């Protein structure tokens, strides 16, 4: 019997520690026989990766930025995410539309109504169900105080346009995520990303075990190194 695809996104402010856990989760799913596609936004296709480079490096106004991000998203959905879901795969995506509401909306103060319009345009008409607006089945939110994230990021690497923002920007972004989570509590799983890494991993895997998406043994493993 073919299993339905799963679309899972990972969100949080820069420095919240998503990346290593995404790899760990991909390994856990693969160990249990699932085919996994790991991707990221902005990006995930050759065109979307070009748009990513522009968005992360070139100054631009908030509407231009949002249009480029949603253009990248549509290309990514069309060429990677929807085909993988149609094959019954697990798609793990590092950031998706909640990041646009948090960074462009809450962070930059861009109009949330316009973002909702762009979301509908970019994410509809791709799946076999013509009117479905594609949304994640689950969004894992790595919640971390902006001050702690800033400490973790300090000196780690050359910052991109967003990472170079002051802590006040990340306070707004964090609030943007909190607002998105409050508006869709059934879709969001909040993790306390201030915990030690193995505890975050335990909390993460227990969410998947509770949903019946991973077998129980995974919850007791050490997680990614």
Interface stretch with ligand TYD, choices 82-90, 99-107, 187-195, 206-214 (CB under 6 A): 99-107
Interface stretch with ligand TYD, choices 30-38, 39-47, 124-132, 182-190 (CB under 6 A): 39-47
Least gap, CB of 219 to ligand TYD (angstroms): 26
Please identify which residue in 29, 103, 141, 208 interacts with ligand TYD, judged by CB under 6 A.
Answer: 103
Specify the residue, 74 or 214, whose C-beta has the smaller distance to ligand TYD.
Answer: 74
Specify the residue, 34 or 137, whose C-beta has the smaller distance to ligand TYD.
Answer: 137
- Taking CB under 6 A as the rule, does residue 12 contact ligand TYD? no
- Taking CB under 6 A as the rule, does residue 134 contact ligand TYD? no
What's the CA gap between 176 and 178, in Å, rounded? 5
Specify the residue, 23 or 221, whose C-beta has the smaller distance to ligand TYD.
Answer: 23
Specify the residue, 43 or 223, whose C-beta has the smaller distance to ligand TYD.
Answer: 43
Least gap, CB of 209 to ligand TYD (angstroms): 26
Specify the residue, 28 or 180, whose C-beta has the smaller distance to ligand TYD.
Answer: 180
What's the CA gap between 85 and 32, in Å, rounded? 17
The C-alpha torsion from 87 through 188 and 216 to 222, rounded to 10°, is 100
Q: Are 132 and 180 in contact (CB under 8 A)?
A: no
Least gap, CB of 10 to ligand TYD (angstroms): 9
Rg (CA), the chain: 17
Residues 47-66 contacting ligand TYD, CB under 6 A = 56
Specify the residue, 37 or 104, whose C-beta has the smaller distance to ligand TYD.
Answer: 104
For 42-71, b where at least 16 C-beta lie within 10 A, e where not — what string?
bbbbeebeebbeebeeeeeebeebbbbbbb
- Count of alpha carbons within 13 angstroms of residue 221, beta-carbon side: 17
Characterise 33 by phi-psi region: left (phi > 0), alpha (psi -120 to 50), beta (else): left
Take residue 11 and report the two structure tokens written for it: 């969100």
CA 55 to chain centre: 17
Please identify which residue in 93, 99, 149, 200 interacts with ligand TYD, judged by CB under 6 A.
Answer: 99
H/E stretch holding 188: strand 188-192
- Taking CB under 6 A as the rule, does residue 169 contact ligand TYD? no
Rule CB under 6 A: which residues touch ligand TYD?
14, 40-42, 56, 69, 94-95, 99-100, 103-104, 160, 162-163
């Amino acid at each position: 019997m073919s299993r339905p695809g799963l679309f899972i996104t990972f969100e949080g402010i820069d420095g919240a520690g998503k990346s290593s856990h995404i790899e760990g989760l991909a390994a856990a799913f693969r160990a249990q026989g699932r085919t996994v596609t790991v991707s990221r936004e902005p990006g995930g296709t050759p065109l979307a990766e070009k748009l990513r480079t522009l968005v992360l490096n070139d100054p631009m106004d908030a509407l231009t930025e949002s249009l480029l991000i949603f253009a990248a998203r549509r290309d990514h959905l069309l060429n990677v995410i929807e085909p993988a879901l149609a094959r019954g795969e697990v798609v793990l995506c590092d950031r998706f539309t909640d990041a646009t509401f948090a960074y462009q909306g809450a962070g930059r103060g861009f109009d949330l109504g316009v973002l909702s319009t762009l979301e509908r345009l970019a994410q509809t008409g791709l799946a076999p169900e013509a009117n479905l607006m594609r949304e994640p089945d689950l969004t894992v939110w790595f919640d971390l105080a902006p001050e702690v994230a800033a400490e973790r990021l300090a000196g780690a690497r050359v910052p991109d346009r967003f990472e170079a923002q002051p802590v006040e920007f990340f306070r707004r972004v964090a609030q943007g995520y909190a607002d998105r989570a409050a508006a869709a509590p059934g879709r969001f799983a909040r993790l306390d990303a201030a915990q030690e890494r193995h505890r975050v991993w335990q909390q993460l895997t227990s969410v998947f075990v509770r949903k019946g998406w991973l077998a129980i043994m995974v919850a007791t493993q050490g997680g990614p190194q």
